[in-house]
Amino acid sequence: RSFRRGSVAALVNIFALALGLTAFVIAYGVVSYWNRSEQYFPNADRTYVVTAAFLGRDGQNRATPLPATNRLYADYLRADFPEFEAVARAQVMYNATGVTAGDIYKEMFVVGAESEFLKIFDLPFVAGDSTALSQPNSAVVTEEAAQRLFGNANPIGKTITLASVLDVTVTGVVAPVPEPSHLGHAKTDSLPFDVLASWDTLEGVQAAARARTAKNDPAAAARNQPPPNAPPPPENWLGGYCCTTYVMLSRDSHLTTQTLNERLKAFGEKHIPLAQQEIMKLLIGAVPIRNLTTAQLNQQLLSGAPISITTLLLALGTLVLVVACVNYANLATAQAARRAREVGLRKALGANRTRVMLQYLAESAVLTGAAALLSLLAVRLVIPVLRNAVGMDLDLSLFDSTGFWLFLAALLAAVTLLGGAYPAFVLSRVTPVEALRAGRSRTGSRFAGTILVGLQFAAASFLLIVVLVMYAQNNELQRTGLGSTTDPLVVISNAPQFSEVDNDLLRTELTR
């Protein structure tokens, strides 16, 4: 009867609560998804990625730590840290490397990795094992890559050619790495791969390309050769950052994240040459592999900010939900004056304050339950959109998780209390004599009502400003060239040492 008398207010409350719950649940699902990163790998809890940041001697231009190193780090880490059970480097060869198998040519994501990489990460092998990268010029391919290159034939032992210059042997096949993982194929993953090649192939491809260049243009090759008997260049700790360096602590190690970072800071001060120290201060650290995705997002989106991306998402989701709860409290408080006679009659017939409060909290719970059903339907519709857009499957952290349903039950109880407690408290204080005499009674503090309305409009205005600013920024980015464009220019890149197509010939043929 209550909802029928105030059907418009009830519908507004259900819609607003559903919107708030949807925003919060999606934010919670995204954060939970990131927090589950690398859970497939049994060694994840003792695996770290080495980071580096630079600080100018004048105190300016400090960079957020990046999960990148040069090739010097790994050898020195192995020598200086007996607590490390394994150290491995991985480096992207090219984002789109030509991979050939017989007459089949495909462009794939190729990563070179040291053999200990497979000791740190227990990949889901369907053929081969963790020793697959121990032989020179060997490679592990994904099931999808094997299907594209060899069809239904067994790829083990077959040869593929990387960048049209180097032959390698397939020694393993792996199933897709379970998400969420930085080795997966979501858009937020930092090291996806179709082909995981042995570490020597990185130099092998470059050497083969140089040899092809020398054959085709001996004069240019001779000009690029260093002088005979030239001393080796000094170690450069400030440049050549190309790799991701992983370290895995031994099981009996007592190093914590804090102590490891302290040791790595001293490690950098020990090894960087004095001349380079005078130019730039190198800050070496480590981030747990489980936090790698969020650390990279923080660096990309919130560089230098005192807040993390997970905290920001939850804060925004919470703000939307609080606005919805305050909206419910405002509408319910405004309706309380019209329900004063009803409350007065109930109290005259013997109802106490507790029973009156329970009635209106029950109404709040029913509204919240209806909003929750609408919200779950909306979330279910949003999940495929997110999966297609960024590769995140929130089913893993929401509907397929027992913890989510327990959390949702606690959340609905909190929303019921947050939205319904104040109106229930106001109505329970109505005195029967005043309510039955006038039919209407003053309910609640005017100051409290003013504060609630002010908070609701302040929070809603803040969210609206954020959305408008983001919309304007996106429009500006599209206008300045990062979005769709009608520019008729097409850039064609060609590396003759790999393609064996001369640039002049390419231009002539395109012109023709």
pLDDT digits (tens, 9 = 90+) for 437-454: 654 545 555 666 678 788
Closest CA to 113 of 84, 74, 157, 65: 74
Residue 482 gets which letter from DSSP? I
Whether the pLDDT of residue 61 is over 60: the answer is no
Pairing of strands 195-198, 166-174: unpaired
Closest CA to 52 of 80, 77, 84: 77
Which residue type is seen at 284?
Answer: I
pLDDT digits (tens, 9 = 90+) for 231-275: 767 788 888 888 999 999 999 988 899 999 999 999 988 888 888
Whether the pLDDT of residue 200 is over 90: the answer is yes
- Exposed/middle/buried for 5, CB within 10 Å: 0-12, 13-18, 19+? exposed
Residue 84 structure tokens: 């490390």
Cα(121)–Cα(89) distance, integer angstroms: 12
pLDDT digits (tens, 9 = 90+) for 300-324: 777 767 788 889 899 989 988 888 8
Predicted TM-score (pTM) of the model is 0.78
CB 274 within 8 A of CB 57: no
Closest CA to 54 of 68, 75, 72: 68
- pLDDT for residue 173: 95
CB 416 within 8 A of CB 364: yes
